[in-house]
Structure 1
Amino acid sequence: MVLEKIAKRVPMRSSRSLSRTVMEMVSDGDLPSGTKMPTVRAVAKALGMSAASVAVAWRELVDWRVFETNRRGGTLVLGPPLAPRATRFDVMMRASEGIPFNLGHLTPDRAILPPMGPALLAVSQSAELNDQAPTPISTALRRAIEPIWPFTPNYLLAAHGGIAALEMALATSVRPGDRVIIETPTVSRILDILESIGARPVPIDYREDGPDLQQLAQALKTRPAAFVYQPIGNHPTGFSISQNWSAEAAKLLRDVRIPIIELVQTVLMHKQPWLSLGSHLPHAVVHIQSYNFFFGSDLRVGIAGGSDYYIDRMWQQLTFSSRWVSRVLQDALAFQLTDAEAQRHLERFIDTCRQRRNAFVSALRNVGFVLPETDAPPIWLPVSDEYIATNQMSARGVVVHPGSYFSPEPLASDHVLLNGTILAEGFEDMAQQLSRAADTRGLRGPMG
């Protein structure tokens, strides 16, 4: 009997002791995969525990993916506890293996990136180099960032990329079982992070001027722990919030005591002024900007600015180890953003990316695709069947990503994601290939 096995091995009648014992039994093979577990009430009665304590243990085992629970089938053993995996990221990387041309990843063309040598040479002479006292952000980077931030931040913090900053913001504010409002579609890594925390996404549709405000109002009634969205250049649709959306959303969120986490992955591709809810609610907003698209993956620095309360919690998390960002990287980014010659290289890179994207969008429209006017690198391409389209393009040696990777639930229509800046030539030929794979007949547009 399962109950008898558990009762013999549990050393203490507590939820943590129970969950750890069950994990050991699953790992040892005493509770093999597929075993149907007794009800919470039955376990509580057999062990002399409260049903609430057993339920806590069961929830922990579900979070660790040891158990799977559903109303009709009860609770089943899945197998030994596994470390959380970034499922969507892993699938996207595997889908790219062995395929010559990656048109799906949001990565820059390395051949046109601004040079890094002058920045590294300049920072090697910094007076702050090798200072043992850690700080949330270097003096040089603060001076470079503050003039271009979309609002006056109460606190600035450097992180190892925008996604790393986003993960810290969520990890320090959200607990397993919490609800988190997210836009849909959204960055696939956000969905992976929420899964690793054990949080429940509450999706709301991203319209052309921002996340749907009626849906946002309804989602706030679920008592969420955070709201995560992209105010500038939503990945993958490319949409950005409007002035009107910002004002109306601020009214909805004014009295809600949760962090509002904003992620911007390609801020320099978008024309200013850049909008943010931080202009209305600086005490609640954690605005995150990533710059590795413009300077390469080895200059991976993201910056979080806004709420002193929430960002200080992120900084305190960093101080448990030596995970703060090297001043070499911070000051190199500052150099790239402020030095006159570096600025000219950056402008050429951005101009080239815009020219490529415009040429690609034009070629796609010429073969029948209906695409909105956006200035973000991604192209959110409507297709009849995303899996047929991705498989056909893979067979032609081209990686594109299915739209389902970017939503926690089925979308209203199928899409694939393209990086509009990576293709340097052959726009018409690639558009024709995508047209054949997508079967554009009858498609009504990107949000149809």
Structure 2
Amino acid sequence: MTSGPDGATLTALEERLDTPTAKGLAHAVSAAIRDGHLVAGDRLPPIRTVAAQLALSPTTVSAAWALLARSGTVATNGRRGTTVLDARGGGTTRYRKALERPSTFELDLSTGVPDPALLPDLGAALAGLTSAPRTGSYLDDPVLPALGEALRGDWPFEVAEVTVVDGAMDAMDLVVRTQLRFGDRVVVEDPAFPPLVDLLESMGAQLVGVAVDEEGLSVEGLRAALAEPVAAVFLQPRAQNPTGVTTTRRRARALAELLSGTDALVVEDDSAAGLSSAALASLGRWIPDRTVHIRSFSKSHGPDLRLAALSAPAPVLGAVSARRQLAQGWSSRLLQQVLLSLLTDDAATAQVRTAATTYAARRASVVSGLRARGVEVGGSEGINIWVPVHDETAAVVRLASQGIGVAPGAPFRLGAPAADGGHVRVTVGLATGDLEPLVDALADAAQTTGWSGRAR
């Protein structure tokens, strides 16, 4: 080994290198950081030096550095080399880019949140807590038996157990942390939900983006991705965020058949439960032994309930439960009682149905108006639309100048920048009143170019 700082680093890496692969080297660097041999600000040796000393190819080392960069562990800056980052800095880059907008918009359609006016009234559910069972024990069942029964009775495929967690992202975080390892290849939709991408990249996953068409995740795209081992496939089966695409039964079956010969875990995030007019086509119908299904109630019943239900194969569910015991243990049974009341109360159920109808009407009005103005929007349901634009930045700026906030499309995409100009995500579920002015503004922005700032 060479002497000096590089020599000490190379020795630390060699001692921790279990396998001569990109993933193995990335693990070695992570272990060296965890053990204190590398700290934030330290510069890793040049790629060719590492390759020569550890008997690896430069390509392998470069791939390891790329894995580490995607997880936020290191940053590569040309001739300045590759530097260890402060792991405490967090990893919500895409989420911040998608949602960090000025709060002064007259009409902010950038958020992806439901209309508060369309959420069910909590009055009766909260009043019912006065007669609810006591919740003073750490040893009670983590899920209220009556809620578990109600959830299983409406689940898209037969399951023995459903647990309750603190929202869809908590569910996905638990699955990711218990089932994935650094460097695992993971298939995600492209475009994808930015917080999920941030979560997976923070864990060092190799993301493989697969396109979404009008029936769901592309079969051919998934087939190409499966040419190499895939650890998990993440899907949004209804009202995909941002495109609004709902997976058809035909597509779900084709995807399940393709995955049936693999070891990949399927993770379904159904955030449109209660607000969708389409029957849910879950892959769990065909491959239940490898399907994790997550049902969120944030958009239908209220984000502040912070509740989602999760089913999974027994080993996965056991790992999730064990992980939860190291932290919160269970989701508040008082909130579970509120959710149970909302799910079983006729008035609340009617309010959710009204919300679904209202969201559908708002979406249809804007989409048909844009079509009449020459702007075609795909998808079929949900509170968001994915609007194609000639110039993404120009479109966002033009709308902002009119007091309308939308989310740029770039944080949702995994591949190279769109050659067709890009997209903006618009939360039309928040649009009320006369929608014609909004449609006019969106159509004009879609045709705006960066050269003139005016519609062409």
Is TM-score (shorter-chain normalized) higher than 0.5? yes
Instruction: Tell me the SS of whatever aligns to 1:182.
Output: strand
CA distance in 1, matches of 2:262, 2:385: 34
Say whether 1:428 aligns with 2:436: yes
Aligned to 2:341: 335
Taking a change above 3 Å as real, the CA distance of residues 361 and 127 of structure 1, as seen in their structure-2 partners, is same
Aligned to 1:268: 274
Query: Is the Cα–Cα contact under 8 Å of residues 104 and 417 in structure 1 kept in the other structure?
Result: yes
Q: What pairs with 1:307-326 in structure 2 (closer than 5 Å)?
A: 307-326=313-332
CA distance in 2, matches of 1:192, 1:35: 27
Instruction: Tell me the SS of whatever aligns to 1:268.
Output: coil
Aligned to 2:33: 20
Taking a change above 3 Å as real, the CA distance of residues 68 and 375 of structure 1, as seen in their structure-2 partners, is closer
Instruction: Tell me the SS of whatever aligns to 1:416.
Output: strand
CA shift, 1:373, in A, is 6.0
Deviations 1:353-400 (A, max 9, x none): 223223322332333322346122211111111111011112222211
Residue identity opposite 2:429 in structure 1: T
Taking a change above 3 Å as real, the CA distance of residues 57 and 375 of structure 1, as seen in their structure-2 partners, is closer
CA distance in 2, matches of 1:201, 1:23: 28
Which of 232, 255, 262 lines up with 1:249 in the alignment? 255
Say whether 1:67 aligns with 2:77: no
Deviations 1:255-313 (A, max 9, x none): 21221001111122212431101111111100111111122221121111242222222
Taking a change above 3 Å as real, the CA distance of residues 3 and 336 of structure 1, as seen in their structure-2 partners, is farther
Aligned to 1:223: 229
Query: Is the Cα–Cα contact under 8 Å of residues 35 and 77 in structure 1 kept in the other structure?
Result: no
Taking a change above 3 Å as real, the CA distance of residues 20 and 191 of structure 1, as seen in their structure-2 partners, is closer
Which of 407, 416, 419 lines up with 2:427 in the alignment? 419
Instruction: Tell me the SS of whatever aligns to 1:205.
Output: strand
Q: Tell which deviates more after alignment, 281-290 or 77-86.
A: 77-86
Q: Tell which deviates more after alignment, 87-96 or 277-286.
A: 87-96
Q: Tell which deviates more after alignment, 197-206 or 90-99.
A: 90-99
Residue identity opposite 2:356 in structure 1: I
Which of 137, 142, 146 lines up with 1:131 in the alignment? 137
Which of 140, 151, 156 lines up with 1:145 in the alignment? 151
CA distance in 1, matches of 2:84, 2:149: 52
CA distance in 1, matches of 2:201, 2:209: 14
Q: Tell which deviates more after alignment, 320-329 or 276-285.
A: 320-329
Residue identity opposite 1:39 in structure 2: T
CA distance in 2, matches of 1:309, 1:253: 19
CA shift, 1:204, in A, is 1.1
Residue identity opposite 1:4 in structure 2: G
Say whether 1:160 aligns with 2:170: no
Instruction: Tell me the SS of whatever aligns to 1:283.
Output: helix
Q: Tell which deviates more after alignment, 57-66 or 254-263.
A: 57-66
Which of 233, 236, 239 lines up with 2:239 in the alignment? 233
Say whether 1:437 aligns with 2:445: yes
Q: What pairs with 1:287-306 in structure 2 (closer than 5 Å)?
A: 287-306=293-312
TM-score relative to the length of structure 2: 0.84
Q: Tell which deviates more after alignment, 339-348 or 168-177.
A: 339-348
Residue identity opposite 1:358 in structure 2: A
Residue identity opposite 1:341 in structure 2: A
Return 5+ residue gaps in structure 1 as ranges: 46-50, 442-448
Query: Is the Cα–Cα contact under 8 Å of residues 118 and 351 in structure 2 kept in the other structure?
Result: no
Query: Is the Cα–Cα contact under 8 Å of residues 9 and 21 in structure 1 kept in the other structure?
Result: no
Return 5+ residue gaps in structure 2 as ranges: 17-27, 450-456
Query: Is the Cα–Cα contact under 8 Å of residues 296 and 308 in structure 2 kept in the other structure?
Result: yes
TM-score relative to the length of structure 1: 0.86
Taking a change above 3 Å as real, the CA distance of residues 308 and 96 of structure 1, as seen in their structure-2 partners, is farther
Say whether 1:407 aligns with 2:417: no
Taking a change above 3 Å as real, the CA distance of residues 247 and 63 of structure 1, as seen in their structure-2 partners, is closer
Aligned to 2:373: 367
Query: Is the Cα–Cα contact under 8 Å of residues 136 and 315 in structure 1 kept in the other structure?
Result: no
CA distance in 2, matches of 1:197, 1:257: 20
CA distance in 2, matches of 1:322, 1:157: 14
Taking a change above 3 Å as real, the CA distance of residues 214 and 83 of structure 1, as seen in their structure-2 partners, is same
Say whether 1:40 aligns with 2:46: no
CA distance in 2, matches of 1:147, 1:21: 45
CA shift, 1:320, in A, is 1.3
CA distance in 2, matches of 1:350, 1:290: 15
CA shift, 1:21, in A, is 8.8
Residue identity opposite 1:226 in structure 2: A
CA shift, 1:11, in A, is 10
Taking a change above 3 Å as real, the CA distance of residues 21 and 239 of structure 1, as seen in their structure-2 partners, is closer
Taking a change above 3 Å as real, the CA distance of residues 255 and 141 of structure 1, as seen in their structure-2 partners, is same
Deviations 1:169-214 (A, max 9, x none): 1221111111001121121111111111110111111111121112
Query: Is the Cα–Cα contact under 8 Å of residues 166 and 306 in structure 2 kept in the other structure?
Result: yes
CA distance in 1, matches of 2:66, 2:396: 37
Taking a change above 3 Å as real, the CA distance of residues 101 and 283 of structure 1, as seen in their structure-2 partners, is same
Q: Tell which deviates more after alignment, 125-134 or 231-240.
A: 125-134
Query: Is the Cα–Cα contact under 8 Å of residues 74 and 82 in structure 2 kept in the other structure?
Result: yes
CA shift, 1:62, in A, is 4.8
CA distance in 2, matches of 1:22, 1:394: 48
CA distance in 1, matches of 2:309, 2:34: 42
Q: Tell which deviates more after alignment, 423-432 or 18-27.
A: 18-27
CA distance in 2, matches of 1:93, 1:204: 23
Q: Tell which deviates more after alignment, 374-383 or 347-356.
A: 347-356
Residue identity opposite 2:4 in structure 1: E
Residue identity opposite 1:108 in structure 2: P
CA distance in 2, matches of 1:298, 1:312: 27
Query: Is the Cα–Cα contact under 8 Å of residues 161 and 292 in structure 1 kept in the other structure?
Result: yes
CA shift, 1:130, in A, is 2.6
Taking a change above 3 Å as real, the CA distance of residues 107 and 7 of structure 1, as seen in their structure-2 partners, is same
Query: Is the Cα–Cα contact under 8 Å of residues 151 and 279 in structure 1 kept in the other structure?
Result: yes
Q: What pairs with 1:335-354 in structure 2 (closer than 5 Å)?
A: 335-354=341-360
Q: How many residues align?
A: 431
